[in-house]
Amino acid sequence: MPTESQPTESEHEEPDGPERWSAKRKMELVLRLLRGEALDQVSREVQVPAHLLEEWQRRFLAGGQRGLRTRRDPEERELTLAKAKIGELTMRLELAEGLIEKRGFGDEWKRRKG
């Protein structure tokens, strides 16, 4: 039976080792390291190579840094604006279709549209 510090049998394999660790579990291990637990001690306890724990820690800290950014990437900002424009145009189209139907042109509109 797996202990709390080891993954369950149902988790898949990872390229760097025979077992796959969930993001939540990796985070728990990284937080232990950040709180000052010795890398070699955690590595032995959970049977994960130290280099892999260090990689998880590096990725965790890089992700945290991205989360603290106040400015978005230009591509992300552009995508957000495009989604807003699509929403606005969809709403306008729905309003226009509603007006067309109210004025009695609904059947003709549907024939031309479809």
CATH at 43: 1.10.10
In this structure, the answer to whether residues 59 and 81 fall within a common structural domain is: no
In this structure, the answer to whether residues 41 and 96 fall within a common structural domain is: no
Backbone angles phi, psi at 47, to 5 degrees: 60, 45
Note down the domain range covering 35: 1-70
In this structure, the answer to whether residues 6 and 45 fall within a common structural domain is: yes
In this structure, the answer to whether residues 90 and 48 fall within a common structural domain is: no
Token digits of residue 53: 């724990």
pTM: 0.47
Token digits of residue 95: 């309003």
> What is the full per-residue pLDDT of the chain (114 aa) written as tens digits?
444 444 543 333 344 444 788 888 999 999 999 999 999 999 999 999 999 999 999 999 888 877 666 676 788 889 989 999 999 999 999 898 888 888 888 777 677 776
In this structure, the answer to whether residues 33 and 86 fall within a common structural domain is: no
In this structure, the answer to whether residues 48 and 9 fall within a common structural domain is: yes
What's the structural domain count of the chain? Answer: 2
Determine the Cα–Cα distance for residues 50 and 38; give it in Å rounded to an integer.
10
